[in-house]
Structure formats: structure tokens, C-alpha cells
A and B are shown apart, each in its own frame.
Chain A
Amino acid sequence: EPEVTQTPSHQVTQMGQEVILRCVPISNHLYFYWYRQILGQKVEFLVSFYNNEISEKSEIFDDQFSVERPDGSNFTLKIRSTKLEDSAMYFCASSVGAAGTGGKLFFGSGTQLSVL
């Protein structure tokens, strides 16, 4: 069964460093997303991406964050200068159709980011 894959599964970084989280969405999917879950808190939406541009972003997704689809298969989340509060599990997701019209999101297993 096709699945969303994320690498690495764990990432440890120093505060102020840049990190790139990588995702390979399901191949025929058109919509891509990043969510995160801080330990003990809810899964939160960060950004959605369609047709090579951001379609929506949350208040969390500030100028320190960026997303890119550098080729036909990868979808990346970059955090330019990490802060302690960026420590979380980051989930990538993809869907064939837009979630707002019933498109079902398929999630990867996440990247645990620890900022020291």
C-alpha cells in the first residue's frame, strides 16, 4: 500500500541551527501538508501546499518556516533558526483532493525534532 515516508525519524539540533525535514508524499497526490505535535498537546496544522505554492498557513508558520517541492517527489519543511519551542513531532501528509472537499489525508510516521 502506498505510504507517505518521512526522513529522518529523529533529528537533534542546536538552537539557532537550520533544519530540513524531508517527506515523500504518495505519488499521485496533489495536496501536501505539514502538521506538528508538541508533546502532550494537540496535532496542529502548519501549512498546506498545492500547485507549487502555499495555499494556507497557520499562525505558527512564521518567517522562520518555509516549504519546498524541489522535484517531483520530495516535499520539505525548513526551519531557518530553530528555537527550543520548535521541539515537536512533525508530520507530513498528502491527499488526492483538498481536505475541505473531503480529501482524505494520509500521514507519514513523523520526524521527532529535538532542539537543544
Chain B
Amino acid sequence: GEDVEQSLFLSVREGDSSVINCTYTDSSSTYLYWYKQEPGAGLQLLTYIFSNMDMKQDQRLTVLLNKKDKHLSLRIADTQTGDSAIYFCAERGYGGSQGNLIFGKGTKLSVKP
């Protein structure tokens, strides 16, 4: 079945770049998403990429998609302490389900001052 895998932890220093990686199995995925979860809060949509794109940049965020390897990454430039959160990768295939996003377990990003 469909699956999304992420490493569980990442620790960086303030000001450095963070790169959070994700692999997925569904080759028909059309949209891939990054969500952020701060303590006590819901899942906040950060950005998403359509499968016909290789890269998407949105201010400090860069998403890279390698469809051949089914690999998605999120780069956060100039990481700040406020970026400390859990980051979830999610995929959605085409057709059929209207809302069945497949999530990874989430990567906990810790930013040290």
C-alpha cells in the first residue's frame, strides 16, 4: 500500500539551513504537501508541490521533488528558533479519494540558539 517515510528527528543551529527529507511509494501521487505542527496546535499547511514540478520556492522554503526516486525534501533557509516544530510530509494520488492524504510520522525539528 501507499506509504510515506521520514526521519524522526533533526537538530540544527539557528541561522543554518534545515533539510527535511521524505520518501513515498505511490508513483501516481499528483500533489505532495508539507505540514507544520507546533506544540498544542493543528497541522498548518506550509507548502505543496504538483508532481510535474521539480522545485518550488516560497520565501525561506524550498521544496525539491525527485519523482524518479520518489523523494521529496523541504529546505528551510536561515532556520530560526520559531521553526522548531514537527514537519509532516503527505501525499495524495490522483482520482478516487477526495481527502485521503497519506502522512509520514513527522520529523521533529529542533533549532538551537
For A48, give the chain B residue with the smallest CB separation: B99
B55 within 8 A of A: no
Q: Is the CB of B45 within 8 A of A106?
A: yes
For A109, give the chain B residue with the smallest CB separation: B42
Size bracket of the B interface: 20 to 34
Return chain A residues, CB-CB under 8 Å to B93: 100
Which segment, of B13-21, B57-65, B67-75, B101-109, faces chain A? B101-109
Task: Give the CA-CA distance A108 to B41 in the complex, in Å.
Answer: 8
Query: Given A105-B101, A106-B45, do A100 and B40 touch, yes or no (CB 8 Å)?
Result: no
Q: Is the CB of B103 within 8 A of A58?
A: no
Q: List residues of A (67-110) whose CB comes within 8 Å of B's CBs.
A: 91, 93, 95, 98-100, 102-110
Q: Is the CB of A99 within 8 A of B42?
A: no
Task: Give the CA-CA distance A99 to B92 in the complex, in Å.
Answer: 7
Q: Is the CB of A104 within 8 A of B42?
A: no
Return chain B residues, CB-CB under 8 Å to A95: 99
Q: Is the CB of B43 within 8 A of A102?
A: no
How many A-B pairs have beta carbons closer than 8 Å: the answer is 82
Q: Is the CB of A58 within 8 A of B100?
A: yes
Give the size of the chain A interface in residues (CB under 8 angstroms): 30
Least CB distance from B19 to A in Å reads 21
B9 within 8 A of A: no
Task: Give the CA-CA distance A36 to B95 in the complex, in Å.
Answer: 23
Q: Is the CB of A104 within 8 A of B100?
A: no
Query: Given A42-B104, A43-B88, A43-B103, do A99 and B97 touch, yes or no (CB 8 Å)?
Result: yes
Least CB distance from B60 to A in Å reads 19
Q: Is the CB of B99 within 8 A of A91?
A: no
Task: Give the CA-CA distance A101 to B90 in the complex, in Å.
Answer: 14
Q: Is the CB of A107 within 8 A of B35?
A: yes
Q: Is the CB of B42 within 8 A of A107?
A: yes
The 8 closest A-B pairs by CB, nearest first: A48-B99, A107-B43, A109-B42, A43-B103, A98-B98, A107-B42, A99-B99, A33-B99
Q: B residues bordering A, Cβ < 8 Å? A: 4, 30-31, 33, 35, 40-45, 48, 50, 88, 90, 92-106
**Cβ contacts A to B, 18 pairs, < 8 Å:** A33-B99, A42-B4, A42-B106, A45-B97, A56-B96, A56-B97, A91-B43, A93-B43, A99-B31, A99-B98, A99-B99, A99-B100, A100-B92, A100-B94, A100-B98, A100-B99, A105-B99, A105-B101
